[in-house]
Amino acid sequence: MMEKDRSVVAVNARKTEIIRKAMGVDYDKYESGSIAFDYEAMMNDTGYTLEDNIRIQRHFNVGNTPVFELHNLTALARKLAGPGKGARIFIKDEASNPAGSFKERRAATSVYHAKKMGYKGVVASTSGNYGAAVASQAAMQGLKCIIVQECYDSRGVGQPEIVEKARKCEALGAEVLQLTVGPELFYETLLMLEDTGYFNASLYSAFGVGGIETLGWELGHQFIENYGRHPDVVVAANAGGGNLTGTARGLIKAGCPAKVVAASVNLSGLHMASDNAFNRKSFTTAHTGFGVPYAVKPDHSDVPRSAARPLRYMDRYVTVSQGEVFYITEALATLEGMEKGPAGNTSLTAAFALAQEMPEDAIIVAQETEYTGAGKSIQPQLTFARKNGVELKFGDPADEVPGKDIIFPASPDLLKARDLDLNHLRRSIIHNEAKGFTPTEADIRFLAEETRTSEAFVRETLADM
Amino acid sequence: MAKKGDYVRIRREIVPAGERDASVPADTSATPLVMWVKGYAQQDARIGEECSVITRVGRAEHGTLIEETPCYELNYGSFVPEILAIDDQLRKALFGGDR
C-alpha cells in the first residue's frame, strides 16, 4: 500500500474526505451553493431528539445537575446596587457531572453515536474540559479515546490548567497527544482520525451542540418546579459558541423566555496563536480570543459547518476581566462555601454585575460551574501568572492589560460587565459570510437568522460592504 | 536507561520552524510544532535517543526519549497573599464587622 503524504498541505487537502469517514456526515447536502446552508436540517439530522439526548445522558450519569441560590452573593450585590435593585443570583452546578463540567453533555451523544456506528474509538481536539468529558464518556461506553491538546509553549512550559486537564484525561483512560501553540492542532487531529479510523467527536458537531440543549431544557423546568417562575436572564460563558447555542436552544424548547447573555474573559491584545503570549494568560477558554472570532466566523473549526452559531441566540455579549473572575471565584469560596474552577465562574462574574442592574424580584442564572484541583484552582494560576512576569494588584479592573497585569477590584463595586457592540459583531459575520458571493433572497433570510436581526439590517450591512 | 516495555514519554518535531501555518504570528513561526506523547518503549533507549513506543490506544509513535516513568508534578502553587486580602475585603463588605 502506498504511504499517504503526511505533510500539512496534503492532509488539509484531504480534510473533507477524512471528516466524512470520521463522522458519517455528508455536510455537502446542507449547502445551497451560495451563502446559506440548512442549519436546522443539520441539527435535526443527527437522529437524536432532545428526548433521546436526555435519555442517553441520564443513562450515562450526565446532567440533571442541581441549581443553587447564592444568598450571600445576592446580598452583596444588593448592597452595591441602587434601591430595589439586585436580582437573585443562581448557579447551575455543572461541576457535579462525572468529569466535572457541562462538557459531558456535549460528549455523551457523540460517543454514543460513535459506538452505535461501529467506531472503535473517538478523537477530540481540545485543551479544555471537553477532553475529560470525552474521556469519561469513552470510558463508560467502552471506546478508546485520543485527546489532542495545545498545551505547551516552545520552551515546553505547560499552562497549569491545561496540564491538569491532560492528567484528568489520562486518569480516565485516554491517550493524550500534546502540542505546542498553533492552529496545526487541527492538522494533527486529522492525521489521528485518518490513522486510527476513530470518530471525530468534534466540539462543533450537531451531536455535541445538540447535547447541550438538555442544559437549557433542565433550567427551564427546574425554575418552574422549584421557584414557580422562569428565570429572567441566563448567562453563558462564550468561547466556541456551543455552550451558548445549545443552552439557548434548550431554553426555547422548554418554553423559557429568559434573555441569554454571553460572557467572555477579556483577553484583547493577546494573539491566541502566539508562542510568547501563550503562558501570559490565565484563562485558556471562555475568553474573547475564541469568543469573538468564533462568533463572527463560526465555520473555521474542525468540521465544515459548525453547529455552534451563538449570534443566532445572543441578547447581549459582555466581557469581564481575569482579575474579576479570580475575585468572584474567591467570593464563591469565602462567601458561599463552594470551591470551583475559575474558568467555570466566568458567567457568574458577569451575573454578579448584571444582577445589580435588575430588580430585586428578578432571577439571574450563571448556567455552569466546573471542577477545580491542582493547576486549575486560583492559587496555582496566580502563582504561574506571577512567575511569567504578570503583575498582580488591586485597582480598577477596567485598567487591566491582559498579559501585563491582573487587577483585582480594589472594592467590590468596581466589578463590572462591559458590553461588546453586538451590532458590530453582526455586521462582521455578514461581511465574513457574504464575501465573494452575490447574495440571493434566501441568503438574505439566512443572514438575518445568523444575526438574529431583520432582512433590512442585512441589506443595509451588505450595501455598506 | 529505559528498558523495552517501560512506560516513557517522547517528543518529536512535527512541523519545522519556518514552515508553520501562514496564519501564525512571527514568534510562533520561528519555532517548530512539537508533539509529546507517552507509551511503552519498543527498545532500550537512553534519554535523548530515538525511541519508538506503542501508545495507550495501541498506536505506533516515534521520537526522542525525554522521560522515563513519566508522572505529573502539578501542585497548588505558592502562597498568594492577595487571595487572603480578597477574602477579608469581601467579608467586610458583606458582613461589616470582623467575621
Q: Is B69 exposed, middle or buried (0-12, 13-18, 19+ CB in 10 A)?
A: exposed
- Residue A129 Ramachandran class (φ > 0 left, ψ -120 to 50 alpha, else beta): alpha
Which residue(s) pair with A316 in the sheet? A261
Q: In chain A, which among 401-440 make CB contacts under 8 A with chain B? A: 408, 411-412
Residue for cell digits 433572497? A441
Pick among A79, A145, A178 to test the B interface (most B CBs inside 10 A): A178
User: DSSP characters for A128-194?
Assistant: SHHHHHHHHHHHHHT-EEEEEEEEE-TT-PBPHHHHHHHHHHHHTT-EEEEEESSTTHHHHHHHHHH
C-alpha cell, A43: 441539527
Q: What pLDDT does residue A91 have?
A: 98
C-alpha cell, B56: 495507550
C-alpha cell, A426: 453582526
Please check whether residue A79 touches B, CB under 8 A.
Answer: yes
Domain count, chain B: 1
- Of B30, B77, B82, Cβ closest to residue A392: B82
Q: How far apart are the first and last CA of chain A?
A: 50
Please check whether residue A10 touches B, CB under 8 A.
Answer: no
d(CA A229, CA A216): 15
Pick among B35, B37, B40, B57 to test the A interface (most A CBs inside 10 A): B57
Q: Which residue of B has its CA nearest to A163?
A: B74
Q: Kindly list the domain boundaries of chain A, sorted by start residue.
A: 8-56+101-206, 64-98+209-419, 431-464
pLDDT in tens, A261-275: 999 999 999 988 999
CB within 8 Å: B37 and A178: yes
CB within 8 Å: A145 and B90: no
Q: Which residue of B has its CA nearest to A167?
A: B72
The residue among A215, A213, A207, A247 whose CA lies nearest residue A97 is A215
Given this structure, which CATH class describes domain A64-98+209-419? alpha beta
Helix axes of A103-116 and A242-253: crossing angle, nearest 10 degrees: 90
The residue among A190, A394, A389 whose CA lies nearest residue A282 is A389
Q: Is residue B2 part of a domain?
A: no
User: Do A105 and A65 form a contact (C-beta atoms < 8 A)?
Assistant: no
A108-145 residues labelled b (16+ CB within 10 A) or e (exposed): bbbbbbbbeeebebbbbbbbbbbbbbbbbbbbbbebbb
The residue among A48, A66, A68 whose CA lies nearest residue A56 is A48
The residue among A46, A89, A44 whose CA lies nearest residue A358 is A89
Q: What pLDDT does residue A465 have?
A: 83
User: DSSP characters for A386-446?
Assistant: HHTT-EEEEE-GGG--TTTEEEEESSGGG---EE--HHHHHHHHHHHHHTT----HHHHHH
User: Do A261 and A233 form a contact (C-beta atoms < 8 A)?
Assistant: yes
Could you list the pLDDT tens digit for every one of the 465 residues in chain A?
567 899 999 999 999 899 999 999 889 999 999 999 999 999 999 999 999 999 999 999 999 999 999 999 999 999 999 899 999 999 999 999 999 999 999 999 999 999 999 999 999 999 999 999 999 999 999 999 999 999 999 999 999 999 999 999 999 999 999 999 999 999 999 999 999 999 999 999 999 999 999 999 999 999 999 999 999 999 999 999 999 999 999 999 999 999 999 999 999 999 889 999 999 988 888 899 999 999 999 998 878 899 999 999 999 999 999 999 999 999 999 999 999 999 999 999 999 999 999 999 999 999 999 999 999 999 999 999 999 999 999 999 999 999 999 999 999 999 999 999 999 999 999 999 999 999 999 999 999 999 999 999 999 999 998
Q: What pLDDT does residue A283 have?
A: 86
The number of helices, as runs of H, and strands, as runs of E, in chain A is 18, 13
Determine the structural domain holding residue B52 and report its residue range.
7-95
Q: Which residue of A has its CA nearest to B81?
A: A379
Cβ atoms < 10 Å from Cβ of A285: 27
Q: Give strand ranges (E) for A312-404.
A: 316-320, 363-366, 391-395
Within 13 Å and on the Cβ side, how many CA atoms surround A233?
29
Q: In chain A, which among 434-453 make CB contacts under 8 A with chain B? A: none
The rounded radius of gyration (Å) of the Cα atoms in chain A is 21
CB within 8 Å: B77 and A154: no
Q: Is residue B12 part of a domain?
A: yes
Residue B66, min C-alpha distance to chain A (Å): 12
Q: Name the pTM for this structure.
A: 0.96
Q: Which residue of A has its CA nearest to B93?
A: A76
d(CA B83, CA B80): 6
pLDDT in tens, B41-88: 999 999 999 999 999 999 999 999 999 999 999 999 999 999 999 999
Q: What pLDDT does residue A246 have?
A: 98
Q: Which residue of B has its CA nearest to A386?
A: B80
Which CATH topology does A8-56+101-206 take? Answer: Rossmann fold (3.40.50)
Cβ atoms < 10 Å from Cβ of A103: 32
Q: Is residue B1 part of a domain?
A: no
User: Do A347 and A319 form a contact (C-beta atoms < 8 A)?
Assistant: no
ipTM: 0.96
CB within 8 Å: B14 and A184: yes
CB within 8 Å: B90 and A375: no
- Of B25, B33, B87, Cβ closest to residue A184: B33
CB within 8 Å: A160 and B74: yes
Q: Is A113 helix (H, G, I), strand (E, B) or coil?
A: helix
User: Do A444 and A458 form a contact (C-beta atoms < 8 A)?
Assistant: yes
